[in-house]
Each structure stands twice: as C-alpha cells, then as structure tokens.
Amino acid sequence: MDEAARLAAALESGSRAEREAAYELVGAKIRAGAAGPVSREDAVALAVGFASPLLDFVLSAPASKVELDEWQRASLLLVEMCMSRLDSIVVCGSAIRGDDSGTPRILKPYMSTDNVLAQTLGKDASRWTRDDAITAALSCSFYCCFWEVGATACVDAYAETNPEDFENSFVGKFLGCPPYLPAEGGDRFVPLCLIALEMLGDPEGQQQPDSVIAGGWMLLNFIATFNPENSQAFWDAGVLDIMQRTLDGREHRLFCMPFLG
C-alpha cells in the first residue's frame, strides 16, 4: 500500500490516534515542501491525494466519530494545504472535484446531517458559543483560498472531471448548498455572526489562526451579501472598526476576498 492509500485508509477506518498521526505527517510534509527539504512535487501530490479523504471521512463524518476539536484541526489542515504556496490552484481544485455521484467534495460537510458542523448549526441560537462561531468560521475559510487563488481556475479543475452544463456545475451546486445562503439563512445566523464579530474584535480572538479570522469574515460576508437586510446588525456592532483592527499588521493573502466582499 502506497503512502496516499495508507493515509486515506487511516482517515476512513483508523483510530483517532492513527488519524492524528496522518494529520501530523501531512502537515509536516506540506511545510517541508514549501520550505525546500521535501520535493515540491511530492508535497503537492500528497496534498491533492489527502484532500478527498479528509473531506469524505473526517469533515463529513458523524460527530460520534470526529468530535469538535478534531473537526476544527482537520479544517485548519485543509486550509493550510490549500494556501501552502506549493500549488494552490491544484490543491483547491482537488477539494472541489466531484465524488462518484458528481457531488463536489468541499460541499459534503455542509450536506452531512450528523457531523460537527450540522450539530453546531442546528443548535438553538441561545445556545451558540464562541466554539460554535469558530466552527462556522472554519466552514467558510476554504472559500477565502478558493477565491484568492482563482475561482475560475479551480472550477475548471472541477469541470475537467465533471463535464456538466452551468446549472449543474460547481457554482450552481454551491449556491444551492451552504446553509448560510438565502434558501436556508434569512436572519437565522445573525446571532452566530455577532458572536464571531465579538471574537474578531477582542485581543484573545485576534490570537486565533488566520484561517479562523479570515473564515469569520467570510461568514459575515456570506450572511450580509446574500441577505443584505442582516448588514444593519453588523454595522450596529461596530463592524468597520473591528475590520480595521483585524487588518492592522496582517499581510496574509487569506484576507483578500472576505474584505473585498
């Protein structure tokens, strides 16, 4: 069994310890490939091969298998792979390629009914916490990568393996899937966004990984763009001042798309 198959097997049927070992190995090799000690081509191939099982067997898995801390850890790793400066378009493209049914893999965590994300978003608004806001932010952070590196190029990578008309393309499926969009959202997630905004504005929140912070802004972007009436609550909470504090001293390219939105 080659390394890619062994890692996929660990994610599909291995123990928590085996999955953790896989995350450590892939993260180390991605960082080494970006820095030089590991072949860049080998690191890209590893990331491309790891994205599908990470989405299929971890981020879409029941919460009884993959609990909150592991789900967040795996989400951070996905964004690290996509933004590793190895070949972001190829890695992002691998994350949106369809499975055997044609479903883009990056959408499968949204479609799960029993994973950590489903449990988080299904809570009553009065029970949402900062951990829930972090989970929601991480569920949006991939799209910071997707649009920053080039959505068209990533969709082309999807189309190569899923030759369909536009209405059934990745874009069409995306617009019909995430819970934050109009068909599902309304003002349902405004309280969750306000928790995220509070986190983004305080010193402790500013110490979160860039993937969480950028994903938090993308979450607000989704809610305000697709449901503009929600924007007033964000203005009232001081969104512009918090946005400026977020950007001060940061140059990471993850922050391009959320703020352009």
Domain ranges of the chain: 3-260
Q: Is the pLDDT of residue 220 over 60?
A: yes
Look at the alpha carbons of 15, 21, 27, 29 in this order and tell me if their dihedral is positive or negative: negative
Q: Is the pLDDT of residue 256 over 60?
A: no
Integer angstrom CA distances of residue 125 from 114, 122, 188: 18, 9, 8
Class assignment of domain 3-260?
A: mainly alpha
Global pTM exceeds 0.75? yes
Q: Is the pLDDT of residue 72 over 70?
A: yes
CB atoms within 10 A of CB 214: 30
- In this predicted structure, which of 37-51, 126-140, 164-178, 185-199 has the lowest mean pLDDT? 164-178
Conformational region of residue 150, where left means phi above 0, alpha means psi within -120 to 50, and beta covers everything else:
left
Spatial separation of the C-alpha atoms in residues 200 and 196, rounded to whole Å = 6
- In this predicted structure, which of 6-10, 22-26, 38-42, 196-200 has the lowest mean pLDDT? 38-42
Q: Is the pLDDT of residue 51 over 90?
A: yes
The pLDDT of residue 184:
54
Q: What is the pLDDT of residues 4-33, one digit of tens each?
A: 889 999 999 999 999 999 999 999 988 887
In the chain, the percentage of residues whose pLDDT exceeds 90 is: 42
Q: 231 is written with which tokens?
A: 């924007």
Q: What is the pLDDT of residues 147-176, one digit of tens each?
A: 777 777 777 766 666 656 554 667 777 777
